[in-house]
A and B are shown apart, each in its own frame.
Chain A
Amino acid sequence: MLDIILSILIILGGFFTLVGSLGLFKLPDFYMRLHGPTKASTLGVGAVLIASAMYFSFKTGEISLHEVLVTLFLFITAPVSAHLMAKAALHIKVRQDKRTLNKSDQ
């Protein structure tokens, strides 16, 4: 039973990370590509970390909680780096896709 839950969590994590990477690869402009990694780093990594915490808690009998910290640090740093990249892109006027609404002054 545990194995099934763990497998589902890891596959789910892998799937969302894959979709994030696919977005990073295929989307047309820098700002849109930025959405890929922020996504992968939340649910994708989140699911894998839950699986890791469960695996080590049940297999070794000791509750393993430092995955919580990984999540916490990731949730603090991922948006900050995304924000910095977006701000830098605006500053050096990276090309914006022609469909973009309310193009920021270019």
Chain B
Amino acid sequence: MRRKAFPHPLLSVALWLIWLLLNNTASFGHMILGALLATFIPWFTASFWQEKVQIHRPWLLVKFVAVVIYEILVANVVVAKLILTRQDKLQPGFLYVPLDLKSPIAIGLLANTISLTPGTVTCDLSEDQQSLLIHALHIDDAEATVADIKNQFEKPLKEIFD
């Protein structure tokens, strides 16, 4: 199979941006060096990236990131309040979130998003990849928590990656 110049264009762009940010500069020399790295690193790591990552709706991804940041802010305040005031009334528990997502990268992103939002940590992915096991610090209404995760995080991810 002939090797493409850019097997993973998104990875190349990301690497180039990360290189410039690492050096905290936008000078011409670093742009060239970054471009070289962004060309060669995907060549050498191509075998780790079997599937092509495709983003179907970039704007939805931007919106998704904004929603996640907002959720992190809100959840931080909620969890801080829980820890400071109602520590002995906490109701921790495990929840199963059934998955509609198929692509591994989308499942990975969903798991990471759940862990990043304070109050919930992803513990396990079932072997058939049909559900996530999450631990929640405080459960008021188990069904509502699962429904929130599915609506706010899983739905956009499904539209973007699947």
B9 CB–A CB distance under 8 Å = no
**Chain B residues within 8 Å of A103, by CB:** 94
On whether the beta carbons of A86 and B123 are closer than 8 Å, the reply is yes
Which one of A42, A69, A90, A102 lies within 8 Å of B76 (CB-CB)?
A42
**How far is it, in angstroms, between the C-alpha of A76 and the C-alpha of B105 when the chains are bound?**
13
Per-position 1/0 for A86-106, Cβ under 8 A of B: 110110000001011111100
Provided the pairs A69-B21, A75-B116, A101-B91 are in contact, do residues A32 and B76 lie with their beta carbons within 8 angstroms?
Answer: no
Which one of A35, A62, A80, A97 lies within 8 Å of B79 (CB-CB)?
A35
B92 CB–A CB distance under 8 Å = yes
**Chain B residues within 8 Å of A76, by CB:** 112
**Chain B residues within 8 Å of A102, by CB:** 93-96
**Interface SS majority for chain A:** helix
The A9-41 residues at the B interface (CB cut-off 8 A) are 15-16, 19, 22-23, 26-27, 29, 31-32, 34-36, 38-39
B142 CB–A CB distance under 8 Å = yes
- Smallest CB-CB separation from B89: which chain A residue? A99
**Chain A residues within 8 Å of B124, by CB:** 86-87, 90
For chain A, the bracket of interface size reads: 35 or more
Which one of B22, B92, B93 lies within 8 Å of A69 (CB-CB)?
B22
Q: How far is the CB of A38 from chain B (nearest CB, A)?
A: 6
**Chain A residues within 8 Å of B96, by CB:** 102
Q: Which of B51-59, B131-139, B152-160 faces chain A?
A: B131-139
**Chain A residues within 8 Å of B80, by CB:** 15-16, 19, 39
The A54-96 residues at the B interface (CB cut-off 8 A) are 62, 64-66, 68-69, 72, 75-76, 78-80, 82-83, 86-87, 89-90
16 more A-B residue pairs beyond the given contacts A15-B80, A82-B115, A90-B124, with a C-beta to C-beta distance below 8 A? A23-B79, A26-B83, A27-B83, A27-B87, A32-B90, A32-B137, A36-B83, A38-B121, A39-B118, A64-B24, A66-B22, A78-B116, A79-B113, A83-B115, A86-B121, A101-B142
27 A-B interface contacts by CB (under 8 A): A15-B80, A16-B80, A19-B80, A23-B79, A26-B83, A29-B92, A31-B121, A34-B135, A35-B118, A35-B119, A36-B83, A43-B72, A43-B73, A64-B24, A65-B21, A66-B22, A72-B18, A76-B112, A78-B116, A79-B111, A79-B112, A82-B121, A90-B124, A99-B90, A100-B93, A100-B94, A102-B96
Residues of B at the A interface (CB closer than 8 Å) are 18, 21-24, 72-73, 76, 79-80, 83-84, 87, 90-96, 111-116, 118-119, 121-124, 133, 135, 137, 139, 142
